[in-house]
Amino acid sequence: MAPVDPHSFTDSTHPHTTHISLTLYLDFLSSTIHASALFTLQNPHSGPFFLDTRSLSINSITDPQSNNTPIPFSLSQTIDPIKGSKLTLTLSNHTSFLINYTTSPSSSALQWLLPPQTFNKKHPFVYTQCQAIHARSVFPCQDTPAIRVSYSAKLNIPTELTAVMAAKHVLRRVPVDDDEFFGNSTKGRVVEEFVMELPVPPYLFAFAVGELDNREVGPRTRVYAEAVPKLLDSAAKEFDGTEDMIREGERLFGSYEWERFDLLVLPPSFPYGGMENPRMVFLTPTVIKGDATGAQVVAHELAHSWTGNLITNKTNEHFWLNEGFTTYAERRIVEAVQGEKRATLNIGIGWRGLNEDVERFKDNLELTKLKNNQEGIDPDDAYSQVPYEKGFQFLLRIEREIGRPAFDEFLKKYIATFKFKSIDTETFLDFLKANIPGIENQIDLVLWTEGTGIPSDAYEPDSSVYKTIVSLANESVNGRMPGDDEIAEWQGQEWELYLDNLPKSIEASQIAALDARYKLSESKDYEVKVSFLQRAISCGCKAYHSEVERTLKEVGRMKYLRPLYTALVKDSGNEDDKVFAKRLFSEARECYHPIAQGVVEAIFAKHM
């Protein structure tokens, strides 16, 4: 027996799942799903067969091709803190089997929201977040990106609600006698059917259910959100340039394979900026900024349509193949659609983030490598800007070496060669050396992929706008703040870059003076507000505790939770701040997605 992934029980000698047919009865009262999953295997198999599960109750496993004859199974009593529970089936030349099961209210992928936790305050809401290894808490599966599956799904939901999925919508209908209800009532219920015909890794399985409406913003794009007109209108305005970005992506990387590129704006508890679910990207409402810069997150998720969704990292140890490529692709799209200045600011913010995360992992330099060893490490704990920004820097280094036209041709060939496949770093490097002969003599490929920290030939932005903002930030040590004329054209990204580069020695009085002049703590742009509050906490400025509390209770995006909670329990060095952080988390915890809860708990465990 040989595992294919340090985060999965999947065995390399077992056949791959090729298709899963799901029937899901969503029970909002119990925050559970009563479900069945019909599996189709690549080849007949006899003997043990392993699946990943987490917090699932397995009710029965049967053979649908033999009058639903029971199939022996066992669910491990020992729960691995990272991988969950191993489900072992004993197969006898089977190519398919049917699992009836129930999810738990503690499912790590699902967040069930009560009406007060939503925008419209009228109806409940539920959504999934399966990356990196949380699909196993929604359905049993070979939960590794090394295996790609197609699927169909029937969602049985309350009539007043609407379902969306990262799949093609087939129809909405009333329940019929042939539907499985698992002993539940069909009164006041409706069935939504979906199909995903293209094979995807399990982490890209996604659905959301709530009172939803939509606005059309392009020939391939609708923006979905809760049925709140102001929210929908703001989102439609923010993302009305999406079709231009899709066309630019096609020009750079080849045809768009997924037909639709719809967007769903989720409630504020969504833990990420965006999630690249094919056909239905999930977004945090914090990307709606009113100046179209939030569309850069959409550009990133769009870029995943080629790098990540078409070509996928084989395991999370090669995560940079998803995120480094996508960050590079995002910036090329932004440069073409929004201009070089926006792309340059993006690179500058990323450069600062990379340096901060390399410093964060100074006691575990393994996680500053592009190709790293994650045995015994939860991928949520390993998450950082390193695969994004160091991966971007590596690809930019190759572009600088061979020139952009040659690199563009290489990218198109790479995507065409490996689409709908899962690959590792070695596969990429072999392809690179075969298609750009001698590249290993110009660039130290081993240092870039297996070395720690930031290589000396990485590229720190040197544009005039970047240098000017960083210089202004450095001048704050002399008590100087930027003048009105210097910031007249600044948007959120400029302020974010400025705040991120303020010296650690800045005084609390300077922070207060900066805010008195420019009202940064009241910014509607959360990137600006959180960056400012982080620095206010770190320099002991308690006057902003009320704004910190308000922020941590109204959003659940980990990009904001991680720096603010870390600043409170580590950077300030103040015991009162630790008590404050613990109280905040105890009061806000239930508003956070389970993944975000785990991240905050890990911060507390490390620093308290």
**pLDDT per position as a tens digit, 366-402:** 999 999 999 999 999 999 999 999 999 999 999 999 9
What are the beta bridge partners of residue 146?
none
Question: What's the pLDDT score for residue 292?
Answer: 81
The residues of the chain that CATH labels 1.25.40.320 are: 464-607
State yes or no: is 450 an active-site residue.
no
**pLDDT per position as a tens digit, 128-166:** 999 999 999 999 999 999 999 999 999 999 999 999 999
The structure's pTM equals 0.97
**pLDDT per position as a tens digit, 400-442:** 999 999 999 999 999 999 999 999 999 999 999 999 999 999 9
Question: What's the pLDDT score for residue 96?
Answer: 98
C-alpha dihedral sign at 518, 524, 527, 529: positive
Give me the torsion for CA of 383, 384, 387, 390, rounded to 10°: -170
CA–CA gap between residue 580 and residue 565 (Å, rounded): 10
Question: What is the pairing mode between strands 17-27 and 32-53?
Answer: antiparallel
User: What is 464-607's CATH topology?
Assistant: 1.25.40
User: What is 17-210's CATH topology?
Assistant: Immunoglobulin-like (2.60.40)
**pLDDT per position as a tens digit, 483-517:** 999 999 999 999 999 999 999 889 999 999 999 99
What mean pLDDT is predicted for residues 14-25?
98
How wide is the angle at C-alpha 456 spanned by C-alphas 454 and 457, nearest 5°? 105
CA–CA gap between residue 566 and residue 386 (Å, rounded): 18
Task: Considering the candidates 192, 211, 226, 301, report the single residue annotated as catalytic.
Answer: 301
Question: What's the pLDDT score for residue 1?
Answer: 63
**Between residues 209 and 573, the one the model is more confident about:** 209
The residues of the chain that CATH labels 1.10.390.10 are: 227-450
What mean pLDDT is predicted for residues 33-43?
98
What mean pLDDT is predicted for residues 257-267?
98
State yes or no: is 375 an active-site residue.
no
Within a 13 Å sphere around the CA of 58, how many CA atoms are in the beta-carbon half? 27
User: For residue 290, is pLDDT > 70?
Assistant: yes
The residues of the chain that CATH labels 2.60.40.1730 are: 17-210
What mean pLDDT is predicted for residues 94-116?
98
- Average pLDDT value over all residues in the chain: 96
User: For residue 317, is pLDDT > 70?
Assistant: yes
User: For residue 276, is pLDDT > 90?
Assistant: yes
User: For residue 291, is pLDDT > 90?
Assistant: no
Question: What's the pLDDT score for residue 294?
Answer: 86
Question: What's the pLDDT score for residue 574?
Answer: 86
Tell me the CA distances in angstroms from 239 to 84, 247, 262, 298, one per residue in order. 38, 14, 11, 8
227-450 to CATH, choices 3.30.310.10, 3.90.70.10, 1.10.390.10, 3.40.640.10: 1.10.390.10
Task: Considering the candidates 151, 383, 388, 498, report the single residue annotated as catalytic.
Answer: 388
CA–CA gap between residue 117 and residue 122 (Å, rounded): 10
User: For residue 180, is pLDDT > 80?
Assistant: no
What mean pLDDT is predicted for residues 558-587?
94
> Could you tell me which of 276, 275, 367, 311 has the C-alpha nearest to residue 145?
311
